[in-house]
Amino acid sequence: METWKDEVLEQSFVNTDLIEKLISAENIPSDEEFNKVMEKAEKGKDTLSLEEVAVLLNSPQKERIERIFETAKEIKERVYGHRVVLFAPLYLGNKCMNLCTYCGFKATNTEIDRLTLDLDQIDGEVNTLIDQGHKRLILVYGTHPDYTAEYIAKTVEKTYSVKGEHGEIRRVNINAAPMSVEDFKKIKDSGIGTYQIFQETYHEPTYSHVHPQGEKANFKWRLFGLDRAMKAGIDDVGIGALFGLYNWKFEVLGLMSHVLHLEENYGVGPHTISFPRLTEATGIVRHEDYTVKDDELKRIIAILRLAVPYTGLILTARESAKMRKECMDLGVSQIDAGTQIELQGYTKNEKEQDLAKEQFTIGDSRSLLEVMQDLMENGFVPSFCTACYRLGRTGEHFMEFSKPGFIHNFCSPNAYLTLAEYLEDYAEEETKETGYNLIKQEIKTAPLDERVKKDVIEKLEKIKNGERDLYF
């Protein structure tokens, strides 16, 4: 690890003392301070500072929370319209050398079956996912010497190469242990979309406590992992914190410190933020009770929506279907659907989870079709769009483009086109009717330029006539 020394010497960008001070119970914002932050947030343009986000975190009053929720809904609608991007996680290997106290994959957990998929097994899983209608995957790996950059690159290339009856996977993201710049270059060359890694907790003493040994015990190696990814040319990165390890307000400011660090140093923040809540797993050790309640998770999502209006917010199937539904309006822009986290789970297609084979418990086990029907019935447009990444609109370029006008004239039409593909290739009559009615309604009411409207209608006709993979 050629940069190990630099990383260790580098000053952490998480200022623990400042964050503790900002979230302390004595720090009660006045109405004037709260209103000032809300006025800036309502514009839905700029990233909020740590101090500004702290004002929102320290505002538990009912009427303030209501205003935060209302504004988050408005920004979500203004920036994203009704789109929700869908993906599926695909676990490729659960061997792990780490000892994360909260994780079913930890090295000392002898109750779990270990498996690494070979290329044939990956073929089977990817084919099944394509047969369900998926176009976007995130490949997930444990931390183990078997999962070298070469192995990861090979599995990404394999995933892209699988051709199903209705096409192929068009975007492959990965969640894997942070690596050296050299190794990041190898996986970049395999064509990954987003490289995602969660810091788990930004509170260093807690981090050391829950990661007692293994490569992951090094806080800074992980903290600066995305800097190395950026240096290797991967400008599309995802951050996250595992909520439930430490004070949730601290973690939100930790995430914001990471956003600001990336913006300041690379001119672009993270493409996505994830906020998984800790769920049950085999052999899990709970230290202190930092459980995040449902209403707190909603505040986290809405505050992040105000703090980073253009960053994707991912809510995974760890949450129940009910909770996911309730949070959608508050700012979530991406969810997984039809999720299986057992290795070879998609080909096995078992309804019940077997924790002896899986990393943690999931709360939403509905199929992709069920999730899509539910979204559409509630006025959301499921999207499998992968256009930006394939046209090189990533990183700084993505940020430049992702202004409301761009999103409405590119992302929304691409959502209608990819939904139409799904309806043609996978849906029964009833779902097709719901879907096309929704698309019709959207074209009528969404703020699309007239020229784009005409173009969307033409492209929709082409899709009905068998053409595929059309985008703006």
> φ, ψ for residue 196 (rounded to 5)?
-115, 135
How many other C-beta atoms lie within 10 A of the C-beta of residue 242?
22
Nearest-approach distance from CB 261 to ligand SAM, in angstroms: 19
- Tell me: does residue 332 bind ligand SAM (CB under 6 A): no
Judged by CB under 6 A, the stretch of 48-56, 272-280, 346-354, 452-460 that binds ligand SAM is 272-280
End-to-end CA distance of the chain: 41
- Which positions ≥6 away from 124 have C-beta within 8 Å? 344, 347
Of residues 308, 299, 372, 296, the one with CA closest to residue 330: 299
Chain residues 127-156 in contact with ligand SAM, contact rule CB under 6 A: 140-143
Q: Estimate to the nearest angstrom the gap between the alpha carbon of 109 and the chain centroid.
A: 27
- Tell me: does residue 90 bind ligand SAM (CB under 6 A): no
Q: Using CB under 6 A, which of 13, 198, 426, 471 touches ligand SAM?
A: 198
How many residues make contact with ligand SAM (CB under 6 A)?
A: 22
Print the binding letters for residues 175-194 with ligand SAM: x by CB under 6 A, - otherwise. xxx-----------------
- Tell me: does residue 237 bind ligand SAM (CB under 6 A): no
Nearer to ligand SAM, 49 or 353 (CB): 353
- Tell me: does residue 276 bind ligand SAM (CB under 6 A): yes
- Which positions ≥6 away from 275 have C-beta within 8 Å? 240, 241, 243, 255, 297, 300, 301, 304, 313, 314, 315
- Tell me: does residue 281 bind ligand SAM (CB under 6 A): yes
Nearer to ligand SAM, 52 or 200 (CB): 200
- Tell me: does residue 393 bind ligand SAM (CB under 6 A): no
- Tell me: does residue 125 bind ligand SAM (CB under 6 A): no
- Tell me: does residue 216 bind ligand SAM (CB under 6 A): yes
Q: Using CB under 6 A, which of 15, 279, 353, 434 touches ligand SAM?
A: 279
| Strand-pair category, 381-383 with 334-336 | unpaired
Please, are residues 280 and 356 in contact by the beta-carbon 8 Å criterion? no
Nearest-approach distance from CB 216 to ligand SAM, in angstroms: 6
Q: Using CB under 6 A, which of 7, 52, 200, 442 touches ligand SAM?
A: 200
- Tell me: does residue 261 bind ligand SAM (CB under 6 A): no
Residue type for 64, please? R
Instruction: Give the number of C-alpha atoms closer than 13 A to the C-alpha of residue 415, restricted to the C-beta side.
Output: 29
Nearer to ligand SAM, 56 or 281 (CB): 281
- Which positions ≥6 away from 127 have C-beta within 8 Å? 162, 164
Nearest-approach distance from CB 278 to ligand SAM, in angstroms: 5
Binding residues for ligand SAM, rule: CB under 6 A, are 102-103, 140-143, 175-177, 197-198, 200, 216, 242, 276, 278-279, 281, 284, 318, 359-360
